[in-house]
Amino acid sequence: MRSLEIMDTTLRDGEQTSGVSFNSEEKLGVAKLLLQSLKVDRIEVASARVSEGEFQAVKRITKWAEENDCLDKIEVLGFIDGTASLDWIHASGARVVNLLSKGSLKHLQGQLKKSPGQHVQDIKDAVAYASNLGIKVNLYLEDWSNGMISSRDYVWYLMDELQHENIQRFMLPDTLGVLNQVQAFDFCYACRERYPKLHFDFHAHNDYDLAVANVYSSILAGINGIHTTVNGLGERAGNAPLASVIGVINDHLARKINVDENKINIVSRIVETFSGIRIPRNKPLVGENVFTQTCGVHADGDSKDDLYFNRLMPERFGRERKYALGKTSGKANIKKNLEELGITLEEETMKLVTKRVIELGDKKEVVTIDDLPYIVSDVLNQTMDEMPIQIKHYSLSLSKGMRPFVSINLEVNGKMYEGTSSGDGQFDAFMNAIWSIYDELGRERPILTDYLVRIPPGGKTDALVEAFIAWNYKGKEFKTRGLDPDQIEAAIKATLRMLNLIEQHDNVLTGQLSNNNKEN
């Protein structure tokens, strides 16, 4: 089985995503994850001469890499600018440059205004200088895809002149994302056929949503290495997403790679946090919804003989399969979610719950697992309006130079309690007041694990605010939502929903235990 190199450029090309900037600590952390956890073969970590901060970040990465015997896996983009880029790279401690040359005649003439012969000589001079510094050279042919389309003779001239130089890899970028999968195959195959002894990398961009398809074609054509970014970060529409590329290689192509796919989801989440770019819910392999079955027929088939499973098993990527609830849900979907909550129901009750889920799904499209205890209670003749926990009154005070202060009246199963507290913010003070009451009652607290506030799509400055809060209670994850023009009010509504959710959840389980004891 032929081996294939994976070079990840999240820290260089990925950082060119609009609005993304990693600090040195984040860059070092991602570099460690990519090389040690994911085990990609190489990483491109920066562009030369960008800033002093970038220089210090590269120094930290190269120092760590040298200590861990992987310095040759650290690459920096450099430019043909005399000796300036190479001196910068050498001083940073890096020992591999990805030298940016012009892979199309249009770019050469339009940007550099030089002849092909002059450009070749500049490249040779840069390669010789790098060799004297002990720096290995890979060569990017910028805009290579357009070069193959409109000035192939120039591409062949460049390659003919440089094929015997001290260049480790020739890197073929679809810089503007113009290729389709037929062109990607033909152009990569032409390079492999003409220069069979050279190492070629392919670098895709996703402007037509064809990056992964073009990667697939390039591998079929015999390419030696592929460039990716975590979560598909990159300029414009981004680069080929690492997760998708690995899935395609492992399941559809006979190539050996070193990447540990089980770590992909963890790394994706960390890069999501550092970059501030949210992973789309339907993003293949790492999106929140991609291992969630919505159709009841699918859940039923999975229960009987895994009929709707494929090779992309969630466990491969550190994920687990879930079953969404909504108007297309069947009994099998609901049963699987109830089992996750530790709840079992009689057949007749299950039918009523299923009917209720479908009714709610018609109104709100998707019912979450958080709603199930409410629905079960509703079916068992406890209406959702009769919530056991009510916030009757509260007062929030915020004064300059003083900590926010909250006073609250909380009704729990018909009995009134009062709590007061301060906090680091209004919501923190509110939660401290709630927990003072819970401490008085000897109740276990849920743990807040994630907090997101956003204006709904299409909203204006006076629009409603959505608060999404994730809680962990007794090892189970609960997500609640509040909607209000005021951010704190929205968070309070989400919190009230959570308090009643765990109350209903515990009441259902307590009732089950009581019934089991009676039967025994």
The set of catalytic residues is 12, 142
User: CA–CA separation, 146 vs 455, rounded Å?
Assistant: 41
User: CA–CA separation, 335 vs 295, rounded Å?
Assistant: 13
Residue spans of alpha helices (H) in 47-179 = 52-67, 84-92, 105-107, 116-133, 144-150, 152-162
| Residue 240 Cα distances to 177, 228, 377, 387, angstroms | 10, 5, 47, 49
Whether the CA torsion 286, 292, 297, 299 is positive or negative: it is positive
Question: Whose structure tokens read 């919804």?
Answer: 289
C-alpha triplet 374, 380, 381: angle, nearest 5°: 95
Neighbours of 375 (CB within 10 A): 23
SS (H, E, C) 285-303: CCCCCCCEECCHHHHHHHH
User: CA–CA separation, 242 vs 161, rounded Å?
Assistant: 33
Q: Please give the biggest Cα pair distance in the chain.
A: 92
Chain mean position to CA 428: 29
User: CA–CA separation, 518 vs 277, rounded Å?
Assistant: 53
Q: Which residues pair with 395 in a beta bridge?
A: 407
User: CA–CA separation, 141 vs 174, rounded Å?
Assistant: 9
